[in-house]
């Protein structure tokens, strides 16, 4: 099974999560931001690839299956509480050094977020700040080998709208569901053509790189956001003939498996499945 921590061994992927978050109202939307007394914690999401992919798919599946906006918000909040904010602000611009320029170039209709492709840099930055032009955690991003803009991204003054993350997580799940449906013989050829197009529409900009002296020049892969790590992990998982991700035969939750023969997310689920099957057989035998 291929894993991104093996493919991108020499990398910058350290991310930040806070010990607690809360939901705030800005511009008539729900935003998630670190709480004032929250404690900053560093970690590498790539090292948690297995649980990260499973949680992305299970959260996306939950969002796809529910109609309650409150439940969707709670699901995103729980995900952020575990892994941190996705890093929308540095990941979206087409011009990577946008913070040094007067205009930000944005992808058109990325998750239907933007009506136009340009934005004033100052206004763009403000929509991700709890308090516009407020204090930043100076030096935090640069200590991790990142550009100065991450001083804001990793600070308590950074926030992201819930409504942006909801469709992102659902889309990750929908690609995996399309692959599962392709393997189902009940679907007609024309339906499978549509499903293939759905999978092929997965857009991943690729992981940028830089040269670092350690102590000689080496290419270093620089993940610009947690969003990029999620996309990369999902692309790698989707691109394998034998998927490392499967839905548990008993509880239906997605789990990451090192053995493609694994059908259960835990020993508990495996045991319960066999117990239920045994009871079902006995009931059927009793009716005969």
pLDDT at 166 over 90: yes
- The 10 Å CB-count burial string (b at 16+, else e) for 138-155 is eebbeeeebbebbbbbbb
Q: Could you give the CA distance from residue 26 to residue 17 in angstroms, rounded to a whole number? A: 21
What is the predicted pLDDT for the residue at 133? 66
What are the backbone dihedrals phi and psi of residue 117, each rounded to the nearest 5 degrees, phi first?
A: -105, 0
Ranges 205-214, 228-237, 279-288: which has the least confidence:
279-288
Put the strands of the sheet holding 21-26 in their side by side order.
21-26, 29-34, 160-161
CA 94 to chain centre: 20
Q: Could you give the CA distance from residue 273 to residue 285 in angstroms, rounded to a whole number? A: 18
pLDDT at 283 over 80: no
| Averaged pLDDT, 9-18 | 92
Q: How confident is the model at residue 53 (pLDDT cuts 50, 70, 90)?
A: very high
Strand partners, 256: 245
Which position has the higher pLDDT, 20 or 113? 20
Which position has the higher pLDDT, 261 or 40? 40
150 φψ region: left (φ > 0), alpha (ψ -120 to 50), beta (else): alpha
Please report, rounded to a whole number, the percentage of residues in the chain having pLDDT higher than 70: 90
| Averaged pLDDT, 230-236 | 92
Q: Could you give the CA distance from residue 76 to residue 64 in angstroms, rounded to a whole number? A: 12
Domain ranges of the chain: 4-263
| Averaged pLDDT, 204-227 | 84
Do the strands 160-161 and 254-256 form a parallel or antiparallel pair, or are they unpaired?
unpaired
| Averaged pLDDT, 91-111 | 84
What is the predicted pLDDT for the residue at 111? 61
Please report, rounded to a whole number, the percentage of residues in the chain having pLDDT higher than 90: 42
Which position has the higher pLDDT, 223 or 198? 223
């Amino acid at each position: 099974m291929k894993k991104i921590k093996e493919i991108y061994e020499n990398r910058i992927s350290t991310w930040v999560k806070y010990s607690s978050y809360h939901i705030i109202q800005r511009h008539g939307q729900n935003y998630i931001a670190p709480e004032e007394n929250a404690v900053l914690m560093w970690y590498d999401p790539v090292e948690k690839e297995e649980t990260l992919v499973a949680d992305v798919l299970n959260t996306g599946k939950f969002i796809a299956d529910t109609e309650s906006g409150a439940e969707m918000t709670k699901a995103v909040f729980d995900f952020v509480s575990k892994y941190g904010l996705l890093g929308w602000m540095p990941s979206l611009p087409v011009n990577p050094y946008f913070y040094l320029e007067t205009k930000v170039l944005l992808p058109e209709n990325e998750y239907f977020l933007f009506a136009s492709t340009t934005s004033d840099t100052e206004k763009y930055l403000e929509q991700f700040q709890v308090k516009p032009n407020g204090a930043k955690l100076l030096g935090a991003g640069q200590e991790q080998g990142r550009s100065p803009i991450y001083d804001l991204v990793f600070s308590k003054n950074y926030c992201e709208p819930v409504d942006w993350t909801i469709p992102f997580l659902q889309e990750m799940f929908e690609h995996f569901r399309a692959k599962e449906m392709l393997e189902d013989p009940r679907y007609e050829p024309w339906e499978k053509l549509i499903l293939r197009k759905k999978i092929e529409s997965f857009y991943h900009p690729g992981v940028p790189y830089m040269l670092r002296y350690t102590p000689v020049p080496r290419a270093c892969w620089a993940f610009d956001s947690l969003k990029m790590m999620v996309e990369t992990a999902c692309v790698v998982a989707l691109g394998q003939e034998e998927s490392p991700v499967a839905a548990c035969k008993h509880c239906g939750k997605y789990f990451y498996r090192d053995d493609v023969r694994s059908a259960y997310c835990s020993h508990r689920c495996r045991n319960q499945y066999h117990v239920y099957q045994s009871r079902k057989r006995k009931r059927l035998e009793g009716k005969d």
